[in-house]
Structure 1
Amino acid sequence: MWRVLWKLKISHKVKIFIWKGLKEAIPVKELIWRRMSKGDPICSGCGEELETLEHLLLKCKKAKEVWKVAPIQWDGIQELTGNFNRWWAALSEATQRDQGIDHIYLTAYILWHIWKSRNDKEFNNKTHEPVQVITKAWNAWMEFNEGTKKTRSCSIESTTASLHRNEQEASQTPDNRIVGMQLRIATKWNKASKSIGYGIVAADCRGQDVMGWKMRERESSNQVQHEAEGVKWALIKAAEQGWRLVCIGVPNMDLLQQIQGTKTVGLWLATLIEDIRELSKMFYKCSFCIGKYRRNDLSCLFSAQALSNYFDEEWVNPNL
Structure 2
Amino acid sequence: MRDLEAFNQAMLAKQGWRILSDESSFMARVLKGKYFPNTSFLETKVAPHESFTWKSILQARDVLKRGVKRVIGDGLNTRVWQDPWINNVSNGGVLIPKDEAGSSISWVRELIKDGNQSAYYATIHAKKEEGVSSSGSSSEGMWKKVWKSCTPPKVRHFVWRALHNTLPVGEALMRRGMECDPTCERCGEGKEDVGHLLLTCPMSKRIWYASPLRLKIEDDYRGSFKGWVDCLLGQIKDQEWWEAFWALCWSIWLGRNEWIFDKRRRDDLWRIDKAVGLVMEYQRAMEAEKIQPGSMKNGPRKWNAPPRGSLKLNTDVAMGKDGKVGLGAMLRDCEGDVLAALCEPWQGACEVDTGEALAVKQGIKVAMEAGFRQFEVETDSLRICQALRKRKKELSPLGVVMQDIGT
Please say whether Structure 1 and Structure 2 have the same fold, judged by a TM-score greater than 0.5. no
Larger RCO (CA under 8 A, 6+ residues apart): 1
Structure having the larger proportion of residues in strand: 1
TM-score in terms of structure 2 length: 0.32
TM-score in terms of structure 1 length: 0.41
